[in-house]
Amino acid sequence: MKYRGARILIEALKDEGVDLLFGYPGGAILHVYDELFKSSDIHHVLVRHEQAAVHAADGYARVSNRPGVALVTSGPGATNAVTGLATAYMDSIPMVVISGQVHSFAIGNDAFQEADVVGITRSCTKHNYLVKDVRDLQRIVKEAFFLASSGRPGPVLIDLPKDIQEHECEYLPRDQIKIRKRRLYSEADADKIQQAWELLKQARKPLLYVGGGTVLSQASLELMELARLTKIPVAMTLMGLGAFPGTDEQSLGMLGMHGTYFANMAITDCDVLFSIGARFDDRVTGKLSEFSKHSQKIHLDIDPGNIGKCVDIEIPLIGDVKQSLKALLKIVKKDENTLTQYHQQIDSWWQQIRDWQKKAPMTYEQGEKDITAQYVIDRFYRLTKGEAILTTDVGQHQMWTAQFYHFDSPHAWCTSGGLGTMGYGFPAAIGAQLAHPKKKVICISGDGSIQMNIQELATAIEWKTPVIIAILNNRFLGMVRQWQELFYDHRYSEVEMKVLPDFVKLAESYGAVGLRAQVKGDVDKVIQQALQVTDRPVVIDFVTTLEDNVYPMVPAGGAVSDIVLA
């Protein structure tokens, strides 16, 4: 049967299992919206800004482990989506974004609402396409979803000219569509895995350094089994939180710039470092010449480009984290008789780690009246019993959430780790809530970040998503202010939020619930009240202390062993 391009797109999306997408219409994509109007199989979430559409698709993808989908128009619609694409690209999030484009014959003529979207997004997508022939569209859609979710995941963009949406061709069953498949790695080389275990067995001070790739490959159970068998301590990156239970006695929490003292000291002092699905980014390594310089390193990653990119590696393991850990576990279990001896071998290492934990535990000070941000996050953790999905924006509140909300399972943590995107948290929370309607979803934000996409209150109201937006309101761009205090002699240049809306009234003007906590005694009351709301978003304005800082902290350019405790 022949369909026009717009219908082919919708049918191809259905073939890929898409039942929800986020978007904002415009002239160059109207044929597709016309077909959406006729279809009852795909639900469209109308956002209020294209950036929010991509962030919402991102949040949906992180908690569901399925590619998120966003739909935008040409020109400014597509360029508004670029920040969301870059955010997903840096964090390896599977996503397909479809942008309308001007007619094929008008491309390159500076037509109305034309932009070279393929050129603009080349550096922030895993792959992108300009559809030039309607007969290629089915293949491109199928290939886009394959690329987005296979190997190292990432966003893929399809730029669809308006005339291609009108052209007709035969629609084929999905199994008849042949796509180009790139080389995929399943498990790492067997000999290398054996070498990795032999090196780990020799270690007296081993450490598992776990990143977001472990979450993306759904390898948490395998990681947990490896840690249980070997008793090796586990430290996680910002993106790796939840890959291993944060409350487990083997967990050292987060490492890096605002990681725990004991995780950073362990990575500095270890003799064998096993990196699992992490990429040795600068927020973890600090000064490269001083990073874990006493250790031999094993690096397991699905992306060969990550191996040896930042640090020298003794044993590279190129492969899927889940499959490679399964292969490693078979070897470890064959050596089960030696594990008791191994546990004794690393016992003094654990004694050293426990000493570091006693020296500098993760704590905070909360007075009788003024509210600290850490207290708010701690109370959310205790009142939700750690079972909520959390999203954040970027800044101090993001780091405090990573430190004081203990994630015991994967896919419950959505934050912009690589790009550090303010405005990410709230739309990501909407996407996460629509992926898991029965879960409690909480967005921790700041008074600066929340204003970047606060218009999405309208989207949340329309879809009756009971997202809780917790604004930690310190009347500053907090993290920038902290750096200006510590490194710029208190010269607070353009970081004070001198004019802020009344967040309670603003929430109520959209039809949401607005609450405020001004003293410690208010905190539990407003959180419990918010947790009872099930049919609309809740905005809580927590009036927190003005100039609190995030500690521990590794100064920029310093070694992680230079960590400052207060």
- The pLDDT tens digits for 355-377 are 999 999 999 999 999 999 999 99
Distance between CA atoms of residues 401 and 375, nearest Å: 10
Instruction: Name the pLDDT band for 541 (thresholds 50, 70, 90).
Output: very high
Given the residues 113, 194, 352, 357, select the one marked as catalytic. 113
Check whether 219 has a pLDDT greater than 90.
Answer: yes
| Architecture of the domain defined by 190-359 | 3-Layer(aba) Sandwich (3.40)
Supply the pLDDT for residue 25. 98
43: tokens are 């639900």
Residue of 397, 393, 400 lying closest to 419 (CA atoms):
393
Supply the pLDDT for residue 183. 76
What stretch(es) of the chain map to CATH 3.40.50.1220? 190-359
Instruction: Name the pLDDT band for 14 (thresholds 50, 70, 90).
Output: very high
* Cβ atoms of residues 235 and 263 within 8 Å: yes
Supply the pLDDT for residue 556. 84
* 22 among known catalytic residues: no
Residues 6 or more apart in contact with residue 137 via CB below 8 angstroms = 5, 8, 9, 12, 131, 160, 164, 169
Instruction: Name the pLDDT band for 419 (thresholds 50, 70, 90).
Output: very high
Is 163 exposed, middle or buried, given 0-12, 13-18 or 19+ CB atoms closer than 10 A?
middle
* 438 among known catalytic residues: no
Given the residues 22, 114, 145, 162, select the one marked as catalytic. 162
Percent of the chain past pLDDT 90, that is, above it, reads 96
> Which SS3 state, helix, strand or coil, does residue 158 take?
strand
Q: Can you tell me which residue has the tokens 């600068």?
A: 282
* Cβ atoms of residues 239 and 211 within 8 Å: yes
What stretch(es) of the chain map to CATH 3.40.50.970? 2-176, 373-543
Residue of 276, 272, 307, 315 lying closest to 292 (CA atoms):
272
pLDDT tens for each residue of 435-476? 999 999 999 999 999 999 999 999 999 999 999 999 999 999
Structure letter (DSSP) for residue 271: S
Residue type, 465: T
* 162 among known catalytic residues: yes
Supply the pLDDT for residue 53. 98
Supply the pLDDT for residue 505. 98
Supply the pLDDT for residue 337. 84
* 257 among known catalytic residues: no
Residue of 419, 517, 432 lying closest to 124 (CA atoms):
419
Distance between CA atoms of residues 300 and 307, nearest Å: 8
Q: How far apart are the first and last CA of the chain?
A: 69
Supply the pLDDT for residue 336. 81
Check whether 498 has a pLDDT greater than 80.
Answer: yes
Instruction: Name the pLDDT band for 233 (thresholds 50, 70, 90).
Output: very high
* Cβ atoms of residues 526 and 533 within 8 Å: no
Given the residues 11, 50, 114, 222, select the one marked as catalytic. 50
Supply the pLDDT for residue 117. 97
Given the residues 112, 170, 202, 333, select the one marked as catalytic. 112
Segment 71-99 mean pLDDT: 98
Check whether 185 has a pLDDT greater than 90.
Answer: no
| Architecture of the domain defined by 2-176 | 3-Layer(aba) Sandwich (3.40)
Given the residues 90, 265, 422, 479, select the one marked as catalytic. 479
Supply the pLDDT for residue 311. 94
Check whether 182 has a pLDDT greater than 90.
Answer: no
Instruction: Name the pLDDT band for 566 (thresholds 50, 70, 90).
Output: confident
Supply the pLDDT for residue 362. 95
What's CA 290's distance to the chain center, in Å? Answer: 28
Strand 234-236, strand 296-301: pairing: unpaired
* 112 among known catalytic residues: yes
Segment 70-78 mean pLDDT: 98
What is the dotted CATH code of the domain comprising 373-543?
3.40.50.970
Distance between CA atoms of residues 299 and 301, nearest Å: 6
Instruction: Name the pLDDT band for 564 (thresholds 50, 70, 90).
Output: very high
Residue type, 182: R
Instruction: Name the pLDDT band for 148 (thresholds 50, 70, 90).
Output: very high
Structure letter (DSSP) for residue 493: -
Radius of gyration of the chain (CA): 24
Segment 400-412 mean pLDDT: 97
The least confident of 33-47, 268-282, 334-348, 503-517 is 334-348
User: In Å, what is the CA distance from 344 to each residue of 201, 230, 232, 326, 558?
Assistant: 12, 11, 11, 25, 34
User: In Å, what is the CA distance from 467 to each residue of 53, 99, 124, 314?
Assistant: 16, 28, 29, 46
Percent of the chain past pLDDT 70, that is, above it, reads 100
Supply the pLDDT for residue 320. 96
Other CB atoms within a 10 A radius of the CB of residue 156 amount to 29
Check whether 18 has a pLDDT greater than 80.
Answer: yes
pLDDT tens for each residue of 474-496? 999 999 999 999 999 999 999 99
